[in-house]
């Protein structure tokens, strides 16, 4: 894109997840402050884990895959720093079997809560379903439909506002040079509780307080 955008100066380009427009006037860049919803999920996970062991299955330790996990760890530690968190990076965004194997390893080692990111987490969710008692926390999209009895909550990316603004700016002649970051405060990030999971009232209150604290700036989450 950095090379092609120069050849089409009248065309708007947008890419993510990053905030680098390459200094080009026709490139928009976008990302998500995934650590924010990660923090909320971490708070909930710490409240719900009975074994005090949590497993993380990630693809590659970069971008919002990394920042989500960073925030999740901070959320867990804010509740109970003695909880053991084991992380596995599969080095693949698409290897479902490898992600499933990583999740099964965490479960075998006593984890009763899992989380992770990328499209390959369907493998991790499948491992949780096979076990039947391991809880899951999702990110990027609402994953409740994949395991209605086990998915507690998901951080959801909502790009609609950003896309509408890019289209509006384009019509005004602003072809790029602007960056966007989805946050809990601007509504680009949302935490979706699974209505099919019976979340204890105290845990729900803690999650709501975390959302309010992060969105209002009282809680700072470092990516």
Condensed to tens digits (0 to 9), the pLDDT of residues 137-173 reads 999 999 999 999 999 999 999 999 999 999 999 999 9
**Tokens 């099964």 found at:** 104
- Mean residue pLDDT of the chain comes to 97
Q: What percent of the chain has pLDDT over 70?
A: 100
Q: In percent, how much of the chain has pLDDT > 90?
A: 99
Determine the average pLDDT of the residues in 39-54: 98
- Check residue 175 and give its pLDDT: 98
pTM reported for the whole predicted model: 0.95
- State the Cα–Cα distance between residues 97 and 184, nearest whole angstrom: 33
Instruction: Answer for the pair 5, 26: CB distance below 8 angstroms, yes or no.
Output: yes
pLDDT tens digits for range 61-70: 999 999 999 9
Q: What is the pLDDT of residue 195?
A: 97
- Cβ neighbors of 214 (< 8 A, separation 6 or more) are 36, 39, 40, 184, 185, 221
Question: Are the CB atoms for 44 and 206 separated by under 8 Å?
Answer: yes
Token pair in block for residue 7 = 């050849």
Q: Are 49 and 21 in contact (CB under 8 A)?
A: no
Q: What is the pLDDT of residue 10?
A: 96
Overall average pLDDT of the 79-88 stretch: 98
pLDDT class of 60 with cuts at 50, 70, 90: very high
Task: Count CB atoms within 10 A of the CB of residue 216.
Answer: 10
CA 23 to mean position of chain CA atoms: 28
What distance in Å separates the CA atoms of residue 98 and residue 96, rounded to the nearest whole number? Answer: 5
Cβ contact 33:68 at 8 Å:
no
Give the confidence band of 46 by pLDDT, cuts at 50, 70, 90: very high
CATH architecture of the domain with range 34-158+186-216: 3-Layer(aba) Sandwich (3.40)
Q: How confident is the model at residue 4 (pLDDT cuts 50, 70, 90)?
A: very high
Q: Beta strands of the chain (E only): which ranges?
A: 13-16, 27-32, 53-58, 84-89, 113-116, 135-140, 151-157, 179-182, 189-193
Q: Crossing angle for the helix pair 63-79 and 34-48, nearest 10 degrees?
A: 40
Residue pointed to by tokens 């899951």: 136
The pLDDT assigned to 156 comes to 98
- Residue 104 tokens, joined: 């099964």
When pLDDT is cut at 50, 70 and 90, the band that residue 74 belongs to is: very high
Tens of pLDDT, residue by residue over 177-190, are: 999 999 999 999 99
pLDDT category of residue 135 using cuts at 50, 70 and 90: very high
3-state secondary structure at position 20: coil
């Amino acid at each position: 894109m950095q090379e092609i955008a120069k050849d089409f100066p009248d065309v708007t380009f947008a890419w993510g997840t990053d905030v680098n427009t390459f200094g080009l006037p026709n490139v928009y860049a976008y990302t998500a402050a995934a650590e924010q919803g990660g923090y909320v999920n971490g708070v909930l996970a710490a409240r719900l884990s009975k074994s005090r062991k949590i497993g993380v299955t990630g693809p590659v330790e970069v971008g919002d895959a990394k920042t989500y996990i960073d925030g999740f760890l901070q959320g867990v530690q804010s509740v109970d720093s003695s909880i053991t968190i084991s992380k596995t990076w599969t080095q693949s965004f698409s290897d479902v079997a490898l992600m499933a194997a990583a999740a099964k390893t965490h479960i075998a080692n006593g984890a009763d809560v899992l989380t992770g990111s990328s499209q390959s987490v369907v493998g991790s969710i499948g491992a949780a379903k096979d076990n039947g008692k391991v809880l899951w926390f999702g990110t990027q999209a609402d994953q409740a439909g994949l395991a209605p009895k086990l998915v507690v909550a998901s951080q959801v990316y909502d790009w609609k506002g950003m896309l509408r603004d890019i289209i509006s700016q384009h019509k005004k002649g602003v072809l790029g040079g602007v960056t966007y970051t989805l946050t809990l405060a601007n509504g680009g990030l949302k935490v979706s509780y699974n209505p099919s999971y019976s979340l204890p009232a105290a845990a729900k209150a803690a999650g709501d307080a975390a959302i309010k604290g992060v969105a209002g700036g009282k809680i700072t989450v470092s990516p």
